[in-house]
Amino acid sequence: MDLDTKTMIIENNKCAWGKCIFCSFSKKQNVQILSEDKLKQLIENELDGITTLKQLKFFNSGSFLDENQIPIPVQDFLLEKCKQLKTEELIFECHPMFITDKNISRIRKKLNDINYSPKINVAIGLESADNTILKKIKKGITRETYTKAVELLKKYNFYARTYLMANLPYKKDYSKSLNDSVDFALPMSDTICIINAYPYGYAELFDIWLSRKWHPLNKNEFEKITKKYKNNKKIEIFFDDFISYPKFSLPKQKKVDLYGANKFNLTHPYYEVWQEYLADFYIPPKVKEHVLILPCSYRKPYSMSKTHKAIITRLKGAYSYGKIHQIMVSNPGLIPREFESKYPFAKYDWPEAQETPNIKKLYTVVTQARIENYLKNHKDYYSYNSKKPVFCYLKYEAESYIALKNACKNLDISLINLVDKDTYDLFKKQGMKDILINEMLLDKMFLGLAKRKL
């Protein structure tokens, strides 16, 4: 098999620096430390079946030239494998502390010894050309140490690939800060990667996001400040590279008791961060084509509740069950089914008996805004419009339904409530409890989907 490019990610040991506020690779517990033989085997496994490979990107969550992460025999093994595969370009990451004359000259000597002359591109995370910012983000380098590292790479005919972050905290004018950094790094770099700053894993930047003093740029914001570099062949732009869902594996003292029908339990930063992620970065599962908004439940996760067990059982009879994206709506906002067990979605409670007229009004306003952001940003994915509807199965008087209805109206999206209104009104008048799991209503929900061949 011939490949143009391949990305290989092999983590071993902790990053030697490990203090950057956006990164958590040195903060993980029980990080594996692999033997040289194990590392070589992992590389073999990754490259198995490949006959030629033009470009290899090797990432190890730290520095390739750090012997505690990638021992010298393993570094040499990778170079030998690249020669076998006729690899024209090898890209690896390295902190400037390991870009030393000793390390770089050794790599050059190894290449000469095996008569191999690929393009070696060393990626350096400069992030910003502002020394004050570099100190605040705890990067462990300065403009001067970066420059020295690049000069050393050039001395041995290696190439410099520079990472810059578009919206680091501590700078009000993100656009000017990025422009200044590009102007500084571009003359010294063979390529530049502009990345949307984001807290990876359990990083310190995540706490800053929670403080509401900073947030990752959404796509429109990011494209606005990177637009001028779009056609520059030396610059690559990554809006959501390696972004994952907010990971709240927080210490116990940071886990909050999210209980009560009140403003605190409606607009908590944990919810706000999640809703930003879901609206701006989340990509729904590829197979999901239709949105079905469902109610929350007292029991968590939702799928373990009596209500959701009944709904799911009936939904499974639908022709296109696998294409239906089930999304719950509650005081934390929208919760796709695949996230229902994540913190804090499985650890909150909103007692309806505590609701006051004012809190109901606030709930409707906040929830409508969250729904609008989600539906607007995912309109191209789901392709709903004035004819293709969003479905829901919600009580007609519920604030969640009112918020959803208003949001769809503002976005010109059709909304179909699969709760048969006449039947619902009759059961409600009779004082029936647990109306939504009544067999007749569930059957009509199913028929509503079947009617549209879902």
Other CB atoms within 10 Å distance of the CB of residue 316? 11
The pLDDT value given to residue 37 = 97
Q: What residue ranges define each of the domains in the chain, with the CATH number in brackets? A: 2-238 (3.20.20.70), 252-451 (3.40.50.10630)
Q: Determine the Cα–Cα distance for residues 230 and 433; give it in Å rounded to an integer.
A: 58
Q: Determine the Cα–Cα distance for residues 256 and 222; give it in Å rounded to an integer.
A: 32
DSSP state of 234: T
CA gyration radius, the chain: 26
The pLDDT value given to residue 30 = 75
Q: Determine the Cα–Cα distance for residues 454 and 448; give it in Å rounded to an integer.
A: 9
Q: Taking the model in full, what pTM does it have?
A: 0.89
The pLDDT value given to residue 324 = 96
Give exposure, 80-115, as e/b (b: 16+ Cβ within 10 Å): ebbeebebebbbbbbbbebbeeebbebbbeebeeee
The pLDDT value given to residue 24 = 78
CA–centroid distance for 231 within its chain: 26
Which mean pLDDT values do the consecutive 10-residue runs of the chain (454 residues) have? Answer: 94 91 76 93 96 96 95 98 97 97 97 97 97 96 98 98 95 92 98 94 87 93 96 96 74 76 96 96 94 97 97 91 96 98 94 97 98 96 91 97 98 97 93 92 93 77
The pLDDT value given to residue 172 = 84
| Exposed / middle / buried, residue 211 (Cβ in 10 Å: 0-12, 13-18, 19+) | exposed
Other CB atoms within 10 Å distance of the CB of residue 225? 20
Q: Determine the Cα–Cα distance for residues 306 and 313; give it in Å rounded to an integer.
A: 11
Q: Determine the Cα–Cα distance for residues 128 and 132; give it in Å rounded to an integer.
A: 9
The pLDDT value given to residue 59 = 95
What amino acid is encoded at 284 in this protein? P
Q: Determine the Cα–Cα distance for residues 70 and 93; give it in Å rounded to an integer.
A: 12
Structure-block tokens of residue 239 = 């809006």
The pLDDT value given to residue 245 = 83
The pLDDT value given to residue 239 = 94
